[in-house]
Amino acid sequence: MAVSGPAASPRPGGEPILKDVVAYVEVWSSSGVENYSKTFVNQLLGMGAKVSKTFNRNVTHVIFKEGYQSTWDKAQKYGVKLVSVLWVERCRLSGVRVDESLFPAINTNEGLPSLIKKKRKCMQPKDFIPRTPENDRRLQKKIEKMANELNIQKTAIDNDIPVLLFEADGSLIYSPTAKIKDQCNAMEKRLQEMKDKRENLSPTFSQMLALNSDPSSSGTCLNTSLNTSQSGIENGKVKLDILDDISEGSKDQKTKSPEESKKTRKVKKPTRTLVMTSMPSEKQNIIMQVVDKLKDFSFSCDVCESTTHVIAGEPRRTLNVLLGIARGCWIVSYEWVLWSLEFGHWISEEPYELSDSFPAASICRLERHLSTGQYQGDLFAGQPVMFITAACEPPCAKLRELVQLCGGQVSSSPFTASIYIGPYRGKKQPEIKYLSEKWILDSITQHKICPCENYLMP
């Protein structure tokens, strides 16, 4: 059964890129634990391809990485094209259907005996569906049965007819209506508790993590839930405060034994960080999964002292790219991550460095590599003291950081500066240069001081 996407990426002529492709996707991690197929299925559907959930005779392409040996053998038997995940990415970037022979799939299990071939068992959590009477017939019948018994007993009470009842020891007694009322109220209370329990379902796993990670927010949520439960009791309704169980569980997790705490101390956090820029959320998810598998990196939103790599989804000049250049980081493309996933380890960055779009990237990186201590650029070292106005775009703090990383001097007072960067509304002095913010950005990108005459403010 093939699935087609809602909106396909067209060619310049208006036709989808992979119009005639029927693909079967089997993409696993090198350990055979994580299944990455869903991400590439979405990319194929976006380019107009049809994706089959099963390997049938209609399949024309198999996107294969660390998949089953039976899938590999079947594709070779029927002459179906076996391609790697890089073929999907290259088609998306180039906007045309790329030659499949340039991106052949690799089978690491070929030639191995059947006894030692990897078994696939996906460890990714499945979606949790809570049990409710709407989706659980057994629970629905149980509640209906209790409701019917309650109605029968209510009818007996309304008619004021005594009933024969069995005591706990098994003896038969002649019961007055008052005792039946007590039992009826107990059953009615139990039914109400079951309904309230369905209405106040426990938080999701991600919400529990958020509560545990943020003590202040968890306290606020806990107080709110306690207040609502108290108000519910005042109104005559019995509500279940499930957050009490969560808070107790979090306390149990925090009180670990000394041996467990020693083990957690041994796990060292990676010292180098990685920053993503101009990256859609779909690609960000892939990078996070790959980093989680291959280790050695932690993530940072902005380039900082520990950043060594900036991964750009597109060769656009962003603040993180410029900060990465100023700090001598690797500025690499998204394909570096895909190839590292293909080989199962971090590979050399140099073939994927965006030096064509950012010539200064490789120069600053080599300077950082050759520096003995902490790297300090010298691009603006020979320039006069600068003053950056508050109305700058990018923000004043970021421009100040860029100038200082490149060896320049920035003054907080306009009276000691000879160069003003950004819009200035006061009276202009003839001995001071009033330049646009772009002068700093272009100079860093090209790794040379651009002529001031081209960036004068009006």
Write the DSSP assignment of 211-271 as a string of letters: HHH-HHHHHHHHHHHHHHHHHHHHTT-----THHHHHHHHHHHHS--HHHHHHHHHSPPPS
The answer to whether the CB of 328 falls within 8 A of the CB of 367 is: yes
CATH superfamily ID and name for 386-455: BRCT domain (3.40.50.10190)
Quickly list H helices, 47-200: 69-78, 85-94, 137-158, 177-199
Domain extent listing, the chain: 2-116, 137-254, 273-370, 386-455
What does the chain come to in residues? 458
Q: Does domain 2-116 fall into CATH 3.40.50.10190? A: yes
pLDDT reported for residue 330: 94
Note the pLDDT of residue 230: 42
In DSSP notation, 92-107 reads: HHHSS---GGGSB---
CA 267 to chain centre: 22
295 residue type, one letter: K
> Between the CA of residue 381 and those of 375, 378, 392, 410, 415, what are the distances in Å?
14, 5, 22, 11, 20
Do the domains 273-370 and 386-455 sit in the same CATH topology, yes or no?
Answer: yes
pLDDT of residue 309: 95
- Tell me how far CA of residue 86 lies from CA of 63, 100, 114, 291, 353, in angstroms: 9, 10, 28, 18, 17
The reported pLDDT for the residue numbered 169 is 54
State the pLDDT at residue 399: 92
Structure tokens at 125: 């959590």
**Tokens describing residue 453:** 């005459």
Q: Where are the alpha helices (DSSP H) in 305-388?
A: 319-326, 335-343, 359-370
- The correct CATH number of 273-370 out of 3.30.365.10, 3.40.30.10, 3.60.10.10, 3.40.50.10190 is 3.40.50.10190
Residue with tokens 């007072």: 413
**Token pair for 278:** 């101009």
Give me the tens of pLDDT residue by residue for the chain, a chain 458 residues long: 566 555 455 655 568 889 889 999 999 887 778 888 888 999 999 999 999 999 999 999 999 998 888 899 999 999 999 999 999 999 989 889 999 999 999 887 766 555 445 555 555 555 556 667 677 778 778 778 877 877 776 665 555 545 445 555 555 454 555 555 565 566 666 666 665 655 444 443 334 444 454 544 444 443 433 344 344 434 433 333 433 443 444 444 445 555 555 555 555 678 889 999 999 998 999 999 999 999 899 999 999 999 999 999 998 999 999 999 999 999 999 999 999 988 889 999 989 999 889 989 989 988 888 888 888 889 999 899 999 998 888 899 999 999 999 999 999 888 889 999 998 888 888 888 999 999 999 999 989 999 988 998 87
| Cα–Cα distance for residue pair 438/422, rounded to 1 Å | 9
